[in-house]
Structure 1
Amino acid sequence: MVEYGVIGVLVLMSIIALWASIERLLFYHYIKLVLYSNKTELEIDLSKNLTLIATIGSNAPYVGLLGTVFGIILTFVQLGQSGIVDTSSIMTGLALALQATAGGLLVAIPSIVFYNLLMRKSEVLVAQWEILQEKEGKQ
């Protein structure tokens, strides 16, 4: 039951990270730099949802690890209550527990990749805005 809760949280985190990444990609694609007269306003708009993506990417492994720890605890409790040392049930319990860690990594790795790509695109857009401002200043 605990594993399903952890996997559910990880699925929710992955959906949120995917939504935020797609939203940012679309925003960056359709942004009109000429509409911004202030660099700070531009940076604020460009950085929306990036913290959310980074937070999910950095915390998903911990959520997975928490699920693994709970799974191992439950395996040992069941083993202690039964009093029978059955290696197949121990290995099955540990394998199921490790699925949570794998799930956490499956959420974290793409989230961090998207975060880094979006941060770079944000930096490029700010640089393009600065070039645009320099050109307008020379005219």
Structure 2
Amino acid sequence: MEFLKEYLDYAVFGILGTMGFIALWVTFERFFYYRSVKWQTFDHSEHLNISLSRHLTTLSTIGANAPYVGLLGTVLGILITFYDIGQGQNLDTGAIMLGLALALKATAAGIAIAIPSIMFYNGLVRKTDVINAQYRALQDLQRQH
């Protein structure tokens, strides 16, 4: 239990920090890719769609799972708080509230990673849809001529 107590914050915030870094990296990589992609040069719409949607699943997965990582940290923090209270036979309400408040910071961090990740994901999916629509419109125009 002491090991968990000592390293819980480092583990949870390390995982969430890594998730946040990956989400930011994917967002910037996709943003710059969309600005530079020559979608007119693709031979088939499915090849374009595969190229455009690369890494978006990672961003969605981070957005969906970051709150759970934070929640796991909170649950383990609450477990440690109750364990310490039980070991000390001390029912100090100040210690209980402090332990619970510190445990909740993991959930807040998970939500803080999830919200922008999902927002970036939705924006990038929208950009993918726009580029795909432009490609289809260009293909239709070329077929008409």
* Number of the residue aligned with 1:77: 83
* Number of the residue aligned with 2:14: 8
Equivalent pairs counted in the alignment come to 139
Q: Distance in 2 between matches of 1:37 and 1:84?
A: 71
Deviation at 1:4, TM superposition (A): 2.1
Q: Which runs of 5+ in 2 are unaligned?
A: 1-6
SS in 2 for 1:77: helix
Q: Distance in 2 between matches of 1:75 and 1:3?
A: 13
2:29 equivalent to 1:23: yes
Q: TM-score, normalised by structure 2?
A: 0.93
* Number of the residue aligned with 2:45: 39
Q: TM-score, normalised by structure 1?
A: 0.97
One-letter amino acid of the counterpart of residue 59, structure 1: N
Bigger Cα displacement from structure 2, 127-136 vs 40-49: 127-136
- Offset from partner CA, 1:91-115 (integer Å, 9 cap, x none): 1111110000000000000000000
* Number of the residue aligned with 1:67: 73
**Match for 2:140 among 114, 119, 134?**
134
One-letter amino acid of the counterpart of residue 39, structure 1: S
SS in 2 for 1:85: coil
Q: Percent same amino acid among aligned pairs?
A: 50
Q: Distance in 1 between matches of 2:101 and 2:142?
A: 62
SS in 1 for 2:43: coil
- What RMSD in Å do the two structures reach over aligned CA positions? 0.8
